[in-house]
Amino acid sequence: MKLQHPFARSLVTVRSWPFVIDLGVAFFSLALFFGVLHIARYWLGTPSPVVPISHSPSALPLYAFYSVVRIGIAYLLSLAFAIAYGYTAAYNPRIEAWMVAVLDILQSIPVLSFLPPVVLAMVALIPGHQLGIELGVIMLIFTGQVWNLAFSFYSSLKSIPREMSEASRIYRYSAWQRFWQLEMPYAAIGLVWNSIVSVAGGWFALMLCEMFTMGDRNFQLPGLGSYIQSAADSGDVTALLSGIGVVILIVVATDQLLWRPLIAWSDKFKFEQVESADRADSPILELLRRSRLSSLPGRIWTSLEEPIYRHLARSRAAQVIRPIDDDADKSKGALFFWALAVAVLIAAAWALVQAITLLRAISFADMRHLLAGAFATFLRVNAALLISALWTIPAGVAIGFNPKLARIVQPVAQVMASVPASAFYPVLLMGLLQIGGGLGIGSILLMLLGTQWYILFNVIAGAMSIPSDLREVTRLFRFTRWQRWTKLILPGIFPYLITGMVTASGGAWNASVMAEYAHVKTGIIQTVGLGAEISSATDAGSFPIILLATILISLMVVTMNRLVWRRLYRLAETRFRLEG
């Protein structure tokens, strides 16, 4: 009889893990391949702008698949655009102020304002295929995701410690090396946390974009947004709760399979002198690290990366050490600046002519009504912003600083933030109607659902990025609570807080289109506000009203940008910049 060592069984189990993980990765890749084939067949088929929506639970898996694909593609486009836009704005002083102002305007314009031009352009660009309609919806979801990512990346680049930038120049890093080894790592924490809120914004936009009316044309695509809207319009509470339940399941799965591993991975990019004893962890990330298949792209990238860096190190540009504020670098952008200025002026002149043609149809009564709506929505937006900041700042700092609390509260907060606020709108509206409340005050509550998470997650990212050694210093010198907040916490989170406040303001303006105007079973309920004007004008196909309402939003946003946000960003870059 052959005796087995008592630890042999556990050893076999440990060694078998990589095979099991590789098998799971292989099945996931195979499912992804067949999913791409299915989407390709559907999108390249004949266009079907109106698809009957079934309330059967058996239709939910397919609807969920379509919605996740739309949000996923829109997120990847958003991330690429945000990095390119933020990088250009941060390193081109001639156009920086203009780019930040344009970004602030675009992120405040409600999704429905983009709806007519984007959908009509995409349908005309790709006629005869479902792809045109789908790209129109994806681009609308893109407008609900991209802006806070761009603000986050721009703010991170502007707050890179000067000594780190100088070190990259002294070691003659090329622009490619500086991007991958300094700028992207430094921005990683902010990008990950803002990605969670961006995807939540994508779900919000999805509820508006999968089922809408534009003049005499109806669009109704298969997806969870259409399913939830259709169930709410018909008063089918069972289907409504089923749709919201599926959204929550998707959000929980995304949190566990994607966001938690990314948070744990990005923790290694924390800027500190000593390693923190409390680090984020993720069982999924640990499993993926054991997989040979999932680590294959990393090994390929590593084998390609070193030869590229050696080649760049031998280039002529790497032989000279230039200071950060080198005038030669600025002069290179002069030609690009003037070419861009001419192109913008031509586009602005054409847009102005088209706008004047449209705005001739606006009457004095329409103008007065829109101005009253602008004042009402402006008050609601700022009220929602203030209420959000009052609880999210202390809560975000507590989550970012306390590992035990973070393990409990952080996953719950991520799930709540990722579940689209628009999914709860029908339920909240039913509750408001039952208690006899109107949308005048109730719309502020609805706006809170779309704004508070931008501030909370940016504050969490800011608190987590504060170096552990600085926190230890405050304990050693026995700072009072007031001193810790004024000398460490508020200065440390300030750049992230401003990013959160700016993007939350845009989220509130976006939420106004659903918070101030809603379709219910008994008809339409609305209150005075620009969001209600845009929604009703979209239903009626009144493009002049949509244009004028969008112009009013842009004027208010530009004013706030010039008077408040631009000055606070400058303060974050100078006084509250983390330096060694």
Tens digits of per-residue pLDDT, 163-189? 888 888 887 787 888 888 889 988 998
CB atoms within 10 A of CB 318: 16
What is the extent of the structural domain holding 182? 59-268+336-574
Contact 498, 576 (CB under 8 A): no
Q: How many CB atoms are closer than 10 A to CB 340?
A: 16
77 — pLDDT class (breaks 50, 70, 90): very high
Which residues are paired to 200 by β-bridges? none
**Over the chain, what is the mean pLDDT?**
77
Quote the CA–CA distance of 560 and 67 in Å, as a whole number: 35
**Nearest alpha-carbon partner for 414 in 264, 286, 287, 515:** 264
pLDDT band at 245 (very low <50, low <70, confident <90, very high): confident
Strands (E), 240-391: none
**Quick check: is 47 in a domain?**
no
The total of structural domains in the chain comes to 1
199 pLDDT above the threshold of 80: yes
Q: What is the pLDDT of residue 13?
A: 44
Query: Is 315 a member of any domain?
Result: no
C-alpha dihedral over 67, 72, 78, 83, to 10 degrees? 170
- Residue 187 near residue 322, CB atoms below 8 Å: no
Q: Is the pLDDT of residue 70 over 80?
A: yes
Measure the CA–CA gap between 267 and 509, rounded to whole angstroms.
32
pLDDT band at 557 (very low <50, low <70, confident <90, very high): confident
pLDDT digits (tens, 9 = 90+) for 503-525: 888 778 877 877 787 766 666 77
* Whether pLDDT at 242 is above 70: yes
The alpha carbon of 50 is separated from its chain's Cα centroid by a whole number of angstroms, namely 29
Q: Say which range, 98-107, 292-301, 345-354, 570-579, has the weakest mean pLDDT.
A: 292-301
Residue 238 has pLDDT above 50, yes or no: yes
Surface-to-core class of residue 54, CB atoms within 10 Å of its CB (0-12 exposed, 13-18 middle, 19+ buried): middle
| Residue among 84, 154, 74 at smallest CA distance from 499 | 154
Q: What is the pLDDT of residues 339-352, one digit of tens each?
A: 766 777 787 777 77
Query: In this predicted structure, what is the pLDDT of residue 10?
Result: 41
Reported as type and span, the H/E element at residue 569 is helix 566-574
Alpha-carbon distance 66 to 220, whole Å?
13
The pLDDT value recorded for residue 321 is 52
**Confidence check: pLDDT of 491 > 80:** yes
DSSP string, 200-236: HHHHHHHHHHSEEEETTEEEE-SSHHHHHHHHHHHT-
Q: Strands 523-526 and 517-520, how do they pair? A: antiparallel
Phi, psi of 578 (to 5 degrees): -75, 120
Residues 94/337, Cβ–Cβ less than 8 Å = yes
Q: Read off the CATH number of the domain in which 242 is found.
A: 1.10.3720.10
| Contact between 318 and 172 (Cβ < 8 Å) | yes
Structure tokens belonging to residue 40: 């390709």
| pLDDT band per the 50, 70, 90 thresholds, residue 338 | low
53 secondary structure, DSSP code? P
Under a CB-based contact definition with an 8 Å cutoff, are residues 519 and 333 in contact?
no
Of 204, 196, 198, nearest in space to 67 by CA: 204
Fill in the DSSP letter of residue 419.
S
Tell me the C-alpha distance between 504 and 46, whole Å.
Answer: 39
The answer to whether residue 481 sits within a structural domain is yes
Query: Nearest CA to 419 among 202, 141, 194, 147?
Result: 202
Q: Please indicate, yes or no, if residue 98 is contained in any of the structural domains.
A: yes
What average pLDDT score do residues 136-164 get? Answer: 86
Residue 332 CA to residue 339 CA, distance in Å, equals: 12
> Is residue 328 included in any domain, yes or no?
no
pLDDT single digits (tens) 122-141? 777 777 778 888 888 888 88
pLDDT at residue 74, rounded to an integer? 92
Return the pLDDT at 42.
Answer: 82
| pLDDT tens-place string over residues 5-55 | 443 444 344 444 566 666 766 777 777 777 888 888 888 878 777 788 888
User: What is the average per-residue pLDDT within 352-362?
Assistant: 76
Phi, psi of 524 (to 5 degrees): -125, 135
What is the SS3 assignment for 457-482? HHHHHHHHHCCHHHHHHHHHCCCCHH
Could you give the percent of the chain with pLDDT greater than 70? 74
285 or 45, which is more confident: 45
322-337 pLDDT per residue, tens: 555 554 454 445 566 6
Please indicate, yes or no, if residue 54 is contained in any of the structural domains. no
Q: Is the pLDDT of residue 4 over 60?
A: no
CA–CA separation, 207 and 67 (whole Å): 10
Specify if 53 maps to a domain: no
Question: What does the pLDDT average to over 395-422?
Answer: 73
Residue pLDDT, tens place only, 417-430: 656 566 666 666 66
Weakest mean pLDDT among 9-23, 386-400, 440-454, 542-556: 9-23
Give 386's pLDDT tier (boundaries 50, 70, 90).
Answer: very high
Q: How much of the chain exceeds pLDDT 90, in percent?
A: 6
Assess contact for 207 and 422: CB atoms under 8 A: yes
pLDDT of residue 83: 93
Whether 92 is in a domain gets the answer yes
Instruction: Report the distance separating Cα 430 and Cα 435, nearest Å.
Output: 9
pLDDT at residue 140, rounded to an integer: 84
